């Protein structure tokens, strides 16, 4: 049964905006993508949907909310480097999980934009889009299990029983705090929660592939892979993780 309630979501998200950089919350029963709605709104806007019919992820992927099983929310913010926005957002997801009673050690971040459990199952994804004027941060976080996505996990699967509106309120407040963090703090906190460090990876940068063990991962700088030919430092920008071993 869906936990969607238009009026209560509007009121509760509006309350969550108080004292933050976010000034107004729009709630839609359904839309194609909250990203598209948010892109038409000014900085400080928040858009949440009970369901998305065409949710999207990074690199042209689809994002399915399993018919209203995930928290789907977009935030319009001032333009900033997208690495800063995505790193702050991933850490905000981790902060909100802790604030909802989850154990920090059960989940971690996977460069650049995912939150996964320690077995590699995806819990949440972040999509940053925009232009020189403003950016839209979209966060999708699974709250109850998505039967059709076997490589995913939900908060319920991690033993956190909550509602989507409570998740979105926690995300809003955590994101507001994380967007004020210095880059060095974001870098350190990302490293402390990085699930890829020490794992076997295949990375792609432009047309080149690198296979080996990931020994450093700085979203604002370089990823370093220990390959059979020695250490290779690869700029984080434009770097894609093609494979990783759990």
Q: Of 67-75, 150-158, 163-171, 196-204, which part binds ligand BTN (CB under 6 A)?
A: 67-75
Site string for ligand BTN, 164-183 (x = CB under 6 A): --------------------
Q: What is the DSSP string of 51-115?
A: EESS-B-GGG-B---TTTTEEEEEEEEE---HHHHHHHHHHHHHHHHHHTT--GGGEEEETTTEE
Using the rule CB under 6 A, is 74 a contact of ligand BTN? yes
Q: Would you say 178 and 139 are in contact if contact means Cβ atoms under 8 Å apart?
A: no
Q: Which of residues 102-141 bind ligand BTN (CB under 6 A)?
A: 113, 125-127, 138-140
Nearer to ligand BTN, 95 or 232 (CB): 95
Query: Which residue number places its CB atom closest to ligand BTN?
Result: 125
Q: Which of residues 203-222 bind ligand BTN (CB under 6 A)?
A: none
Nearer to ligand BTN, 158 or 224 (CB): 158
Nearer to ligand BTN, 142 or 162 (CB): 142
Q: For strands 24-31 and 45-52, give the pairing.
A: parallel
Q: Which of 229, 226, 152 is nearest to 196 (CA)?
A: 226
Q: Would you say 124 and 58 are in contact if contact means Cβ atoms under 8 Å apart?
A: no
Q: Which of residues 180-199 bind ligand BTN (CB under 6 A)?
A: none
The count of C-alpha atoms lying within 13 angstroms of the C-alpha of 61, restricted to the half-sphere facing its C-beta, is 9
Nearer to ligand BTN, 127 or 223 (CB): 127
Near ligand BTN by CB under 6 A: residue from 22, 25, 26, 52: 52
Q: Of 58-66, 99-107, 148-156, 190-198, which part binds ligand BTN (CB under 6 A)?
A: 58-66
Q: Which of residues 22-51 bind ligand BTN (CB under 6 A)?
A: 33-35
Q: Which of 35, 34, 78, 37 is nearest to 176 (CA)?
A: 78
The CA-atom distances, in angstroms, between 123 and each of 5, 16, 213 are 23, 23, 24
Q: Of 10-18, 70-78, 188-196, 225-233, which part binds ligand BTN (CB under 6 A)?
A: 70-78
Q: Which residues pair with 134 in a beta bridge?
A: 78
Angle at 217 between CA 143 and CA 76, to 5 degrees: 50
Binding site for ligand BTN (CB under 6 A): 33-35, 52, 55-58, 61, 63, 72-74, 113, 125-127, 138-140
């Amino acid at each position: 049964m869906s936990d969607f309630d238009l009026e209560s979501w509007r009121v509760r998200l509006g309350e969550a905006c108080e004292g933050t950089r976010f000034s107004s919350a729009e709630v839609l029963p359904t839309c194609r993508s909250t990203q598209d709605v948010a892109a038409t709104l000014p900085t400080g806007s928040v858009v949440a949907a009970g369901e998305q019919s065409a949710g999207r992820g990074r690199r042209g992927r689809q994002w399915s909310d399993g018919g209203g099983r995930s928290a789907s929310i977009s935030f319009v913010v001032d333009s900033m480097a997208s690495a800063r926005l995505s790193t702050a957002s991933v850490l905000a997801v981790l902060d909100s999980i802790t604030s909802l009673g989850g154990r920090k050690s059960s989940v971690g971040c996977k460069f650049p934009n995912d939150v996964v459990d320690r077995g590699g199952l995806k819990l949440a994804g972040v999509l940053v889009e925009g232009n020189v004027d403003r950016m839209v941060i979209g966060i999708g976080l699974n709250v109850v299990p998505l039967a059709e996505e076997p490589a995913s996990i939900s908060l319920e699967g991690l033993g956190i029983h909550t509602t989507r509106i409570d998740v979105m309120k926690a995300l809003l407040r955590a994101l507001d705090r994380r967007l004020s963090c210095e880059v060095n703090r974001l870098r350190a906190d990302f490293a402390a929660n990085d699930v890829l460090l020490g794992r076997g990876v295949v990375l792609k940068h432009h047309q080149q592939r690198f296979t080996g063990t990931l020994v450093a991962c700085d979203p604002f700088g370089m990823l370093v892979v220990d390959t059979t030919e020695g250490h290779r430092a690869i700029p984080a920008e434009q770097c894609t993780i093609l494979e990783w071993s759990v």
